[in-house]
């Protein structure tokens, strides 16, 4: 074996082991946090949320645990643990717990934990509710009656079975799960859960997508069938309408700091921040070429960016434009798409899709400029700075109202 290969092999083993350890530690902490929250919920009266009593109880628990020398169990953390348990009560199902939490098989360790839980039950103050129930010391089943009852009062979609939640807890970091807990809309939370699992978002990327209102910006909001499939089947279907977004938020480019910039500056910035740009585009986009040359009638045209989308199985042409959308942009993009379809697209691929990225657009003008075209051409707005949530909500609402009034889009 060559020495360099030896070093590479050791390095790969070390990296893989560290990643596996980090994942195992995260999963253990996530389960610990849920179990602590579940115990607190069960200790309260039937798991009901009584703000005054709950706050006093949590303060007392935090103070006593700190006095005993436990770390990471502050008041704010205990609140988060309790919120986690209430948001995901389905983890209380015995099979889910068994799959997620391999309780120790050692008889001595098991008996000690059972003893501790039994003492907790005996010292439970009168009137504070039902503690966790240990069904059978032989098969090690712990039940959380209040949380189990809560499952039937929550909106849980048919596809969110026990396997789904096991996968979620195993693959999503605790910090991201806590961020998801802050969402009150079950479908919106499910959307981000699926994206976290499928796209492997970090907590930073999740926060960015939430703050930029990805759920509201995604083409999903324009496709009722896609929303229905998400709710009924838990699938984010891939069509050009659902994959493409409007607007695209490009604050990571840093262009807002410039008093003026050109289309070349915008293109170069996107190339320099290609990984961030692909995150903003969404899953399954693969970069192919910059300034892709198209030759028609001995004249050369240059498409700014060319991508390929794996699930749509088609080329995606992106042309960057400063300022407002102009009708002639649609004609130029239509030329590009016709060329790509005839000269570049492979026989087993779908027709290409075009995206015109403009800083401003008028829905009526876009409608009449693109109506009747055979090609799938979309016009999206881009923002080089992340606006406030209130401003972005207002813009999206105004855009939706204008589309509804112009083209009588049904609610």
- Pairing mode of beta strands 248-249, 141-143: unpaired
- Which of 243, 269, 296 lies at the terminal end of a domain, its last residue? 243
Helix axes 162-171, 3-43, angle to 10 degrees: 120
Domain CATH for 339: 3.40.1350.10
Same domain, yes or no, for 132 and 188? no
Quick one: tokens of 8?
């590479």
Does some domain include residue 160? no
Does some domain include residue 317? yes
Same domain, yes or no, for 202 and 252? no
Quick one: tokens of 326?
């102009």
CA distances from 245 to 189, 201, 398 (A): 18, 18, 16
pLDDT per residue of the chain (411 residues) written in tens, 0 to 9: 687 887 788 788 888 888 778 777 878 888 889 988 988 888 875 555 555 566 788 888 889 888 888 888 889 999 999 999 999 998 887 666 666 765 544 444 444 444 554 454 444 443 444 445 555 544 445 778 888 888 888 888 888 888 888 889 888 999 999 999 999 889 889 989 988 988 888 899 899 888 888 887 876 566 667 777 777 777 777 778 778 888 888 888 887 666 677 888 888 889 989 988 988 888 889 999 999 999 998 899 999 999 999 989 999 999 999 888 999 999 999 999 999 999 999 999 999 999 999 988 887 888 888 888 888 898 888 888 877 777 777 777 776 666 666 555 444
Which are the contacts of 262, defined by CB distance < 8 A and separation ≥ 6?
322
User: How many residues appear in the chain?
Assistant: 411
Q: What are phi and psi of 133, to 5 degrees?
A: -105, 130
Classify 286 in phi/psi space as left (phi over 0), alpha (psi -120 to 50) or beta.
beta
Q: What are phi and psi of 404, to 5 degrees?
A: -65, -40
Note down the domain range covering 125.
3-153
Does some domain include residue 167? no
**Rounded-to-integer distance, Cα 346 and Cα 351, Å:** 9
Q: pTM score, two decimals?
A: 0.72
Same domain, yes or no, for 87 and 43? yes
| CA angle 360–365–371, rounded 5-degree value | 125
* Pair 318, 337: CB distance under 8 Å: no
Same domain, yes or no, for 285 and 381? yes
Same domain, yes or no, for 311 and 366? yes
């Amino acid at each position: 074996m060559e020495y360099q290969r030896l070093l590479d092999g050791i390095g790969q083993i070390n990296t893989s082991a560290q990643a596996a350890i980090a994942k195992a530690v995260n999963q253990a902490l996530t389960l610990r946090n849920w179990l602590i929250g579940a115990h607190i919920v069960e200790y309260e009266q039937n798991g009901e949320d009584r703000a005054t009593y709950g706050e006093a109880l949590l303060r007392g628990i935090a103070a006593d645990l700190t006095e005993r020398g436990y770390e990471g169990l502050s008041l704010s953390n205990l609140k988060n643990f309790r919120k986690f348990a209430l948001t995901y009560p389905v983890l209380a199902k015995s099979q889910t717990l068994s799959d997620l939490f391999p309780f120790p098989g050692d008889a001595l360790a098991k008996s000690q934990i059972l003893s501790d839980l039994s003492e907790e039950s005996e010292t439970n103050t009168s009137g504070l509710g039902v503690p966790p129930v240990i069904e059978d010391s032989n098969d090690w089943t712990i039940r959380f009656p209040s949380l189990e009852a809560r499952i039937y009062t929550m909106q849980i979609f048919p596809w969110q079975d026990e396997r789904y939640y096991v996968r979620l807890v195993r693959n999503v970091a605790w910090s991201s799960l806590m961020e998801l807990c802050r969402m009150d809309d079950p479908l919106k939370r499910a959307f981000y859960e699926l994206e976290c699992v499928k796209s492997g978002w970090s907590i930073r990327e999740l926060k960015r997508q939430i703050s930029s209102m990805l759920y509201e910006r995604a083409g999903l909001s324009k496709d009722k069938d896609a929303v229905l499939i998400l709710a009924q089947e838990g699938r984010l279907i891939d069509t050009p309408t659902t994959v493409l977004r409007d607007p695209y938020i490009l604050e990571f480019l840093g262009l807002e700091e410039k008093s003026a910039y050109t289309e070349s500056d915008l293109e170069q910035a996107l190339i320099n921040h290609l990984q961030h740009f692909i995150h903003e585009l969404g899953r399954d986009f693969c970069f192919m070429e910059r300034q892709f040359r198209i030759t028609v009638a001995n004249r050369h045209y240059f498409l700014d960016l060319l991508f390929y989308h794996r699930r749509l199985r088609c080329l995606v042409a992106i042309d960057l434009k400063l300022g407002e959308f102009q009708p002639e942009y649609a004609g130029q993009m239509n030329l590009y798409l016709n060329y790509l379809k005839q000269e570049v697209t492979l026989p087993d691929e779908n027709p290409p899709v075009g995206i015109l990225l403009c800083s401003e657009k008028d829905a009526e003008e876009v409608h009449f400029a693109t109506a009747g075209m055979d090609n799938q051409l979309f016009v999206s707005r881009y923002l080089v700075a992340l606006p406030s949530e209130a401003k972005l909500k207002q813009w999206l609402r105004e855009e939706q109202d204008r589309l509804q009034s112009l083209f009588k889009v049904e609610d």
